[in-house]
């Protein structure tokens, strides 16, 4: 089976490498030719357009920033819709608006191209070691056919419902992650301001009810002042914007999400948009005039 992979960024590049390790033939495309060259050296081939990728592939995967980019790659000029054969499967592993997934799926269905929306969670480290979580929407029979492909890049692959359900699940995930990072930041700033070593606080609480994957991953980054992006604030703003838009559409209020969104917008305005989302701690540090360090 030949797999097309479009989008070799922080997440996409290691994901495509894991497909190669699993023994799949992979055709890659990205505007960043250095990234393309790196994956080609490992055994992939390359193509110049989504149409060309689709013409060479049985399954096409995209890992792109947001809805407009996915729509353009799928349906635009020289898009995959122009090159894919009937029966081709499109797996969008980007995090986009659920409504966009449904609209793209409907357009592709006219050409007998099936689609799954399959956003991921776990950040760059889990993309590298192949232990991401994948949440998938779409026809269950198509999901079953593609399960092993997705599992070669992930530790967990769960079917969550019809097309769009994957991205609704991802929005729920991103709300929980954002609020967890904010809560962690608030607590560690409190400890620091009160004169208690935040690292000792972290060690004391990590095994109790306050412990979480977010705490384990992000508290050390804050204390080490390591804000190199595993997941950028700019991208989390995009996800929370999609969550808030979706919430307005279905009539679900997200007051805490709105507050964290404003924190992230303030950080972006201060030049931290490219920092890891653990930099939410900087917002609290500025208010309290302290720095959380070991």
DSSP state of 273: T
Specify the length of the chain in residues. Answer: 294
Buried b (16+ CB within 10 A) or exposed e, 74-88: bbbebbbbbbbeeeb
Q: What residues contact residue 242 under an 8 Å CB cut-off, 6+ apart? A: 67, 95, 96, 97, 98, 167, 171
Q: What is the pLDDT of residue 237?
A: 97
Contact in structure between 292 and 188 (CB atoms under 8 Å):
yes
Contact in structure between 236 and 178 (CB atoms under 8 Å):
yes
Q: Is 173 annotated as a binding residue?
A: no
Q: Is 68 annotated as a binding residue?
A: no
Q: What residues contact residue 141 under an 8 Å CB cut-off, 6+ apart? A: none
Q: Is 8 annotated as a binding residue?
A: yes
> What are 36's two structure tokens?
């393309």
Count CB-CB contacts under 10 A for residue 10: 16
| Residue 41 designated active-site | no
Q: Which CATH number is associated with domain 168-288?
A: 1.10.1040.10
Q: Is 15 annotated as a binding residue?
A: yes
Q: Is 17 annotated as a binding residue?
A: yes
SS3 label, residue 60: strand
Q: Is 7 annotated as a binding residue?
A: yes
Q: What superfamily would CATH give domain 2-162?
A: NAD(P)-binding Rossmann-like Domain (3.40.50.720)
Q: Is 9 annotated as a binding residue?
A: yes
Q: What is the pTM of this model?
A: 0.91
Active-site hit among 51, 126, 170, 218? 170
Residuewise pLDDT in 10s, the chain (294 residues): 999 999 999 999 999 999 999 999 999 999 999 999 999 999 999 999 999 999 999 999 999 999 999 999 999 999 999 999 999 999 999 999 999 999 999 999 999 999 999 999 988 889 999 999 999 999 999 999 999 999 999 999 999 999 999 999 999 999 999 999 999 999 999 999 999 999 999 999 999 999 999 999 999 999 999 999 888 999 999 999 999 999 999 999 999 999 999 999 999 999 999 999 999 999 999 999 999 999
Q: Is 12 annotated as a binding residue?
A: yes
Q: Is 135 annotated as a binding residue?
A: no
- Could you give the residue range(s) of every CATH 3.40.50.720 domain in the chain? 2-162
HEC assignment per residue over 176-215: HHHHHHHHHHHHHHHHHHCCCCHHHHHHHHCCCCCCCHHH
Q: What is the pLDDT of residue 131?
A: 97
- Could you give the residue range(s) of every CATH 1.10.1040.10 domain in the chain? 168-288
- CA R_g for the chain: 20
């Amino acid at each position: 089976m030949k797999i097309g992979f479009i989008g070799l960024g922080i997440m996409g590049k290691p994901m495509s490498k894991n497909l190669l390790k699993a023994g799949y033939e992979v055709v890659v495309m990205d505007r960043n030719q250095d990234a393309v060259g790196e994956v080609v050296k490992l055994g992939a081939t390359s193509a110049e357009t989504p149409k060309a990728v689709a013409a060479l592939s049985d399954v096409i995967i995209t890992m792109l920033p947001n809805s407009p980019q996915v729509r353009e790659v799928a349906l635009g000029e020289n898009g995959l819709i122009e090159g894919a054969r009937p029966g081709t499967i499109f797996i969008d592993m980007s995090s986009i608006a659920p409504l966009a997934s449904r609209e793209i799926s409907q357009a592709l269905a006219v050409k007998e191209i099936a689609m799954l929306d399959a956003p991921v969670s776990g950040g760059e480290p889990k993309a590298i070691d192949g232990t991401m979580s994948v949440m998938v929407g779409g026809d269950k029979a198509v999901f079953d056919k593609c399960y092993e492909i997705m599992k070669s890049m992930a530790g967990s692959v769960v079917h969550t419902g019809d097309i769009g359900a994957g991205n609704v699940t991802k929005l729920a995930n991103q709300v929980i992650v954002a609020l967890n990072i904010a809560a962690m930041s608030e607590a560690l700033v409190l400890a620091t301001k009160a004169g208690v070593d935040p690292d000792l606080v972290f060690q004391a609480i990590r095994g109790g009810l306050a412990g979480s994957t977010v705490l384990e991953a992000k508290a050390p980054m804050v204390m080490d002042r390591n804000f190199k992006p595993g997941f950028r604030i700019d991208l989390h703003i995009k996800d929370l914007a999609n969550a808030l838009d979706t919430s307005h559409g279905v009539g679900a209020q997200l007051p805490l999400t709105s507050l964290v969104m404003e924190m992230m917008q303030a950080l972006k305005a201060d030049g931290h948009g490219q920092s890891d989302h653990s930099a939410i701690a900087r917002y609290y540090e500025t208010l309290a005039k302290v720095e959380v360090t070991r």
